[in-house]
Amino acid sequence: MFINTIQLQMIHFKLKITAVLVLFFVTYSVYAQTPNELNHEQALKIILEAKKQAENMTVSVNIAIVDAGANLKAFIRMDESFLGSIDVSIKKAKTARYFNIDTGKLGELTQPGGIIYNIEHSNGGLITFPGGIPIKNKDGKIIGAIGVSGGTIEQDRTIAIAGAKAITY
């Protein structure tokens, strides 16, 4: 069978339309299923609650919020906080989300002889000491994480917990 140029162009056009429709419906279905996604209002509420806790403890910290995909959603560097803690706070948040666990608890598993010793060298560098906490919505679904750095590890963890609880209670 002989296909002329016009018929070939029509086939290409139909394939392109089909591809666009498939892409639209896939994209729509992904976005239509995001009621459990961390939105900017929640991220702001979390970060402000964590900042309030830090101020009450008179400690200056960096606070990072990541969404369910571990993408940075919100960040604040309090006055006088350490520059080196910027990256640490972001990595704490990402680590907490990557593994859906308090980074302090993860750290217990990464000690020499631990079941995941040296995992902190994966994923572009993880932080496996306290200060990263998964964020859950009211239904208990993890929708992001918070990372705090700049105080002692106990202060960082307390501040992170206060922030994470801001939208669950």
Q: pLDDT, tens digit, for every residue of 117-157?
A: 888 888 888 898 999 999 999 889 999 999 999 999 999 99
For position 64, what pLDDT does the model report? 98
pTM above 0.75, yes or no: yes
DSSP readout, 106-161? Answer: HHHHSSTTSTTTTGGGSTT----SSSEEEEE-TTS-EEEEEEEESS-HHHHHHHHH
Residue 161 and residue 134 in one domain = yes
* 136: CATH: 3.30.450.150
Residue 157 and residue 94 in one domain = yes
> Residue 164: which pLDDT band, with cuts at 50, 70 and 90?
very high
What CA–CA distances, in Å, run from 3 to 9, 10, 12, 17, 46? 10, 11, 13, 20, 62
Residue 9 has pLDDT above 60, yes or no: yes
Per-residue pLDDT reduced to its tens digit, 39-56:
999 999 999 999 999 999
Torsion-angle region of 167 (φ positive above 0: left; ψ -120 to 50: alpha; else: beta): alpha
Report the distance separating Cα 52 and Cα 27, nearest Å: 38
Report the distance separating Cα 72 and Cα 85, nearest Å: 15
Residue 44 and residue 119 in one domain = yes
> Residue 27: which pLDDT band, with cuts at 50, 70 and 90?
low
Mean pLDDT of 64-73: 96
Residue 10 and residue 75 in one domain = no
For position 29, what pLDDT does the model report? 45
Residue 109 and residue 55 in one domain = yes
Residue 4 and residue 65 in one domain = no
Report the distance separating Cα 67 and Cα 167, nearest Å: 14
Residue 84 and residue 149 in one domain = yes
- How many folded domains does the chain comprise? 2
Per-residue pLDDT reduced to its tens digit, 87-101:
999 999 999 999 999
Residue 101 structure tokens = 């666990």
Residue 50 and residue 107 in one domain = yes
Choice between 34 and 127, residue whose per-residue pLDDT is larger:
127
Residue 32 has pLDDT above 50, yes or no: no
Domain extent for 14: 1-33
Choice between 14 and 76, residue whose per-residue pLDDT is larger:
76
